[in-house]
Amino acid sequence: MATVQALLECAGDLCTDSGGRDAQILLAHCLDKPRAWLYAWPEHEVASAARAQYEQLLARRRCGEPIAYLIGQRDFWTLQLAVNEHTLIPRPETETLVEWALELAVPADASVLDMGTGSGAIALAVASERPHWRVTGVDNSAGALQVANANAQRAQLSRVCFLRSDWYQALAGSAFHLVLGNPPYIDAADAHLERGDVRFEPRSALVAPEKGLADLARLVAGAPAHLHPGAWLLLEHGYTQGAAVRRLFREAGFKAIATRRDLAGHERVTGAAWHVE
């Protein structure tokens, strides 16, 4: 049997910038141990079943498959979320949206909508911080909703519910104090789609027509019918789309339009209030 140290050394040829870290994450996953354990027990002999699993995962990683899909989870906010090929992989940039939502002055029992919920990351993050909010997440993917429901159960956030809907289609008559969303916003011709993790993520959750603006436009245009007076709409978008999204908000009659930057300094989330005097 090979030792922890020997297996990690053999994985040094991983074709990624963070190959050593990737190998550690995968081996720790196969051993059901934290990464720190690997440093403490480098001479531990790895059983054949765990070694075989590890070598299979390494082969898939060498083909570019995302670490999050290989181990079936990704940390987001304060949560550990299940992810798979039906969902996007939650990213730190989206925490900008969560932070802004939590700053808003909305009712203590606010009704909140997360559009295109995927793994449930945004819905569950805000619900974990505001236990009296009534949070609904919608998605048009049955596979994604299955993951979101499992994540809600794992996080013990029973006030969050998930609904299958093509954006607002199944929400007739419903109004919210806050609507959030991370819709598809990448142009189909964008070269980034052929690089890194996005090659394996669902295109339906990434790509939108009209240079990536079509779904953002639908969410802005449809929001007023589902917003209480004074309610807020916050949408994540591409780092070059800030001006275009602000224009969509202005044309729809929103007020107090603003854009927040992510940790990299890129315009990432635009939001506005509905019927603020």
**Domains contained in the chain, CATH given:** 4-64 (1.10.8.10), 73-273 (3.40.50.150)
CA distance 216 to 179: 13
Q: Are 200 and 65 in contact (CB under 8 A)?
A: yes
- Residue identified by tokens 């209480």 is 228
Burial of residue 158 (CB within 10 Å: 0-12, 13-18, 19+) is: exposed
Nearest residue to 241 via CA among 272, 214, 222, 221: 214
- Per-residue burial over 37-69, b = 16 or more CB atoms within 10 Å of its CB, e = otherwise: ebeeeeeeebeeebbebbeebbeebeeebbbbb
Q: What is the mean pLDDT of residues 76-82?
A: 97
Residue type at position 191: A
Q: If you average pLDDT over every residue of the chain, what do you get?
A: 94
User: Can you give the pLDDT at residue 78?
Assistant: 95
pLDDT in tens, 23-64: 999 999 999 999 999 999 989 999 999 999 999 999 999 999
CA distance 160 to 155: 10
pLDDT higher than 70, residue 118: yes
User: Can you give the pLDDT at residue 14?
Assistant: 61
pLDDT in tens, 225-264: 999 999 999 999 999 999 999 999 999 999 999 999 999 9
Which of the four pLDDT bands, split at 50, 70 and 90, describes residue 18? Answer: low
CA distance 220 to 218: 6
Which of the four pLDDT bands, split at 50, 70 and 90, describes residue 277? Answer: low
